[in-house]
Structure 1
Amino acid sequence: MPETNIRIDQPVKLYRNPKSGHCHRVELMLALLDLPYETIDLDMANGAHKATNYLKISPLGQVPAIEDSGVSLCDSNAIITYLAERYGNASDWVGRSPIEKAQIQRWLSIAAGEIAYGPCSARLVTVFGVNLDHEEAKAKAYTLFKVMNEHLAKRDWLVSDRPTLADIAGYSYIAHAPEGGVSLNPYPNIRTWLVRIESLPKFIGMARSPELA
């Protein structure tokens, strides 16, 4: 059952691209909260994300987006924050003290910055054929991973003694970094952290591209 007393009358609608780590970030949060949801895969190659009806939900034509009992919301970090606040034991996920909240926000910023421009961008090149500087993206990923691996040397989770939004926001693109040509072999602490997330009750993974992994 969800970590909430709020009655959920209908599933949350998740508009997504199933190969997107941003979308998986939201699906993982939905799964961990044990919320009912339905996925709506957009045919982005044929412009479904630019359709008038979808732009009413996501004005920039981006995925993911959700509809939840009259609430429309886009941006993966905004969505997981909303889900945790509305349906979860919020303080567990978003922070129990000012310093925890600040540290979680820092990792959400890293997810939107260093992760997006590092392992995410590297994977955009190999999985989606996006014209980006692959070597630069890989270099940024390795710089980040060195810092993260050291950070995780004496801790189980990125911020606290429990999983928080920091871990959820970081997981998807780091777990799938090898698909972008970024090896996780030199980073044992990161690999242990990934396994720890994958061991959480209700965890759901994102489909891998076997030919790229």
Structure 2
Amino acid sequence: MILYNCPPSGNCYKVRLFAALSGLELSVRDVDLAAGEQHQPWFEALNPWQQVPVLHDGETVLWDSQAILIYLAERHQLWEWWPQEPGARARVAAWLSVSGNEIQHGPADARLVRVFNAPLDYPHAVASAARTLETLEKWLAEHPWLEGSRPTLAECAAYPYVALAPEGGIALDAYPAVRRWLAAVEALPGYVAVDA
């Protein structure tokens, strides 16, 4: 399995984090976004959106970090990460959606502006991040993990951009339950940091 990756990307990190936590081996090939490698015909043939991550597994080519997480869990029957019970699976899927929406358009967008000079509305990203972190704080004050009694794909999807929020100027000091959860993820066997 080849993961087309960009090291600072939180979305790529979601996949690398899950692989590390679950013991999956990936061959990682970095794509030089700054040099425009994602616009080369060979890469556009893998992903017409010209974005990373992309997973290439034999005949299967997938883009979108959430889709890749689901595929890896299904392909390798990692049901502890992607529960088979319909209600639990739907709740994990809801957190994958939160990762791609609320977390993306809050903490992740703020980081894109601050670190990569993305032409996004920074005040809007900061306000969205505050709403997202307040909601996460309330949830995690009453739950040890995002869904159930152990980490799931929800952690792998949500953790990266919450952990990287300070790079976008979003302080986490006011969110003790969120910080406790981040520390719990970081204490998991196999954990790797974004720059690992």
Report the TM-score range of the alignment, normalised by the length of the smaller protein.
over 0.9
Counterpart in the other structure of 2:38: 49
Give the root-mean-square deviation of aligned CA atoms.
1.3
Residue 183 of structure 1: how far off its partner (Å): 0.5
Matched, 1:129 2:130: no
Matched, 1:105 2:89: no
Q: Given the two structures, how large is their TM-score scaled by the length of structure 2? A: 0.96
Partner AA of 1:75 in structure 2? D
Secondary structure of the 2:34 match is: helix
Change in Cα spacing, 1:104 to 1:83, as seen in structure 2 (3 Å) is same
Structure 1: 5+ residue stretches without partners: 1-11, 209-213
- The amino acid across from 1:79 in the alignment is I
Q: Which residue is 1:21 aligned to?
A: 10
Q: CA deviation at 1:88?
A: 4.1
Aligned residue type for 1:124: L
Residue of structure 1 in register with 2:163 after alignment? 175
Residues 21 and 36 from structure 1, CA distance in 2 versus in 1: closer, same or farther, beyond 3 angstroms? same
Distance 2:193 2:77 in 1: 20
One of 120, 129, 135 as aligned partner of 1:141 = 129
How far apart in 2 are the matches of 1:178 and 1:148? 16
1:203 and 2:191 equivalent?
A: yes
TM-score (norm 1): 0.88
Structure 1: how far apart are the matches of 2:70 and 2:31? 23
Q: Give the aligned partner of residue 172 of structure 2.
A: 184
**Shift of residue 38 of structure 1?**
2.1
One of 32, 39, 43 as aligned partner of 2:21: 32
Is 1:82 paired with 2:80? no
1:165 aligned residue: 153
Deviation at 1:50, TM superposition (A): 1.1
User: Which of 143, 147, 165 is the matching residue for 1:155?
Assistant: 143
Q: Which residue of 2 aligns with 1:5?
A: none
Distance 1:206 1:63 in 2: 15
Unmatched 5+ residue regions in structure 2?
Answer: none
Structure 1 runs (4+) greater than 6 angstroms displaced: none
Q: C-alpha displacement at 1:69, in angstroms?
A: 2.6
Instruction: Please tell me whether the aligned partners of residues 33 and 88 of structure 1 are also in contact (alpha carbons under 8 angstroms).
Output: no
Aligned partners of 2:78, 2:8: CA distance in 1, in Å? 29
Which structure ranks higher in relative contact order (CA pairs < 8 Å, sequence separation ≥ 6)?
A: 2
Distance 1:202 1:82 in 2: 20
- 1:62 pairs with 2:72: no
